[in-house]
Amino acid sequence: MGAYSIGVDLGGTNLRVAAIDSDGRVLDRFSGSADYSAGPESVVSAIAQVIHQVRSRVSLSGLRGVGIGVPGFIDIDAGVVVEAANLPGFQDFPVRDEIQKLLGTPIILENDANAAALGEMWMGAGKDVRDLILITLGTGIGGGIVVDGKVLHGFLGMAGEIGHMTVFPDGNPCGCGNHGCLEKHASATAIAAMGRMMHFGNDVTAKKVYELALEGNERAKSIYESVGRALGIGLANLINLFNFPLYILSGGPLPAWQLFAPTMFEEVRRRSFTFGRNGTRIERAVLGADAGLFGAAYLPFQQRIYRETSASVG
Ligand SMILES: [Zn+2]
């Protein structure tokens, strides 16, 4: 049994765990739910229990560490969740140290979108590059920026908040205090809101708008065209800023790619002078919901690689 690590994807309702070896092979998997009503201590002990079970099944000796993707702001050095709207009770809770205490294994926390970006680089759409940006489309829009194989965190750990990039200066108000944030014009929530404005009903969803567009409904099609424009403006900004070879889109609205991609590429070409002349790619993610699991599992390997590199340099 060679080296492996365990990746944990902690969601607002579900808990997914996978043991993955250094070649990216999944050795074992667990998928269950997380109950936050009993407080963070009980969630943490449930996580530790699942990790313990997975480790017992795979191998007790080969485990290199555990990476955990968390939907919120993380103080990476302190191993603390600074803010996580979807994880009640986790604010300022020392997740890393508590799980480490229970397992005696090194634990690394990472924001879930950052973990997904790493996962796509390691085993997904970005296997051939070291620099990429992942944009996750869901109820909100998140993102992760990977530079030379490592997540760009920024000094507060809040880098990569692509969903709050301004794409329309006088656009829709956002909970963050800004107007015209990308997520207010291109998330699944925004698609449903536009559907309500188009009188598709108060309970209309992004999926319903997608189905209407596929049936040829012009107003539904125009919603996805407007999503494409917002995404294209955001992507053009990123391309001009970073000059990375690859930008990846993931998430629920992705099946609608053929509906929003034409206006997206049109905007990118219009606004980015580097796109199209240097082989820059905008592609769909390939790992789906597993991207975060792979990225979380990659974290212990990555830390080891960097520790070994700096040891050989020093
Ligand atoms: Zn915002």
The pLDDT tens digits of the residues spanning 70-85 come to 998 888 889 898 888 8
C-alpha 139 – ligand 1 centre gap (Å): 13
> What pTM value is reported for the model?
0.93
C-alpha 182 – ligand 1 centre gap (Å): 7
C-alpha 169 – ligand 1 centre gap (Å): 12
C-alpha 299 – ligand 1 centre gap (Å): 29
Backbone φ, ψ for residue 96 (5° rounding): -60, -50
pLDDT at 209: 97
**Cα separation of 25 and 58, whole Å?**
12
C-alpha 85 – ligand 1 centre gap (Å): 15
C-alpha 285 – ligand 1 centre gap (Å): 24
C-alpha 176 – ligand 1 centre gap (Å): 4
Residue with more model confidence, 215 or 83: 215
- Residue 305: band (very low, low, confident or very high) from pLDDT cuts 50, 70, 90: low
- Residue 202: band (very low, low, confident or very high) from pLDDT cuts 50, 70, 90: very high
**Cα separation of 309 and 305, whole Å?**
6
Burial class (CB in 10 A: 0-12, 13-18, 19+), 283: middle
272-281 CB contacts, 8 Å cutoff, 24+ apart: 272/235, 272/236, 272/239, 272/240, 273/240, 274/239, 274/240, 274/243, 275/236, 275/239, 278/243, 279/245, 280/239, 280/243, 280/244, 280/245, 280/246, 280/247, 281/245, 281/246, 281/247
Are β-strands 26-33 and 14-21 bridged in parallel, bridged antiparallel, or unpaired? antiparallel
Tokens of 286: 């390939």
- Residue 277: band (very low, low, confident or very high) from pLDDT cuts 50, 70, 90: confident
User: Do 93 and 81 touch, CB atoms closer than 8 A?
Assistant: yes
**Cα separation of 144 and 61, whole Å?**
32
C-alpha 187 – ligand 1 centre gap (Å): 12
Residues in the chain: 314
What does the pLDDT look like over 166-182, one tens digit per residue?
999 999 999 999 999 99
- Residue 227: band (very low, low, confident or very high) from pLDDT cuts 50, 70, 90: very high
Comparing CA positions, the residue from 48, 59, 147 lying closest to residue 102 is: 48
Given a cut of 50, is residue 12 above it in pLDDT?
Answer: yes
C-alpha 189 – ligand 1 centre gap (Å): 13
C-alpha 230 – ligand 1 centre gap (Å): 14
C-alpha 81 – ligand 1 centre gap (Å): 21
**Cα separation of 66 and 99, whole Å?**
10
pLDDT at 310: 60
CA atoms within 13 A on the CB side of 287: 26
In DSSP terms, 284 is beta-bridged to 249
pLDDT at 312: 54
**Residues of the chain above pLDDT 70, percent:** 96
C-alpha 82 – ligand 1 centre gap (Å): 18
Burial class (CB in 10 A: 0-12, 13-18, 19+), 168: middle
Tokens of 113: 């979108």
SS3 87: coil
How much helix, strand and coil, in percent to the nearest 5, is found in the chain? 45, 25, 35
C-alpha 138 – ligand 1 centre gap (Å): 14
C-alpha 140 – ligand 1 centre gap (Å): 9
Tokens of 259: 């509906």
SS3 148: coil
C-alpha 151 – ligand 1 centre gap (Å): 22
**Cα separation of 100 and 107, whole Å?**
6
What does the pLDDT look like over 110-151, one tens digit per residue?
999 999 999 999 999 999 999 999 999 999 999 999 999 999
**DSSP one-letter code for 181:** B
C-alpha 173 – ligand 1 centre gap (Å): 8
Given a cut of 90, is residue 18 above it in pLDDT?
Answer: yes
Neighbours of ion ligand 1 (CB under 5 A): 164, 174, 176, 178, 181
User: Do 4 and 294 touch, CB atoms closer than 8 A?
Assistant: no
Given a cut of 50, is residue 314 above it in pLDDT?
Answer: no
Given a cut of 90, is residue 11 above it in pLDDT?
Answer: no
Cβ neighbours for 53, distance < 8 A, ≥ 6 positions apart: 30
C-alpha 170 – ligand 1 centre gap (Å): 12
Ranges 82-96, 248-262, 263-277: which has the least confidence: 82-96
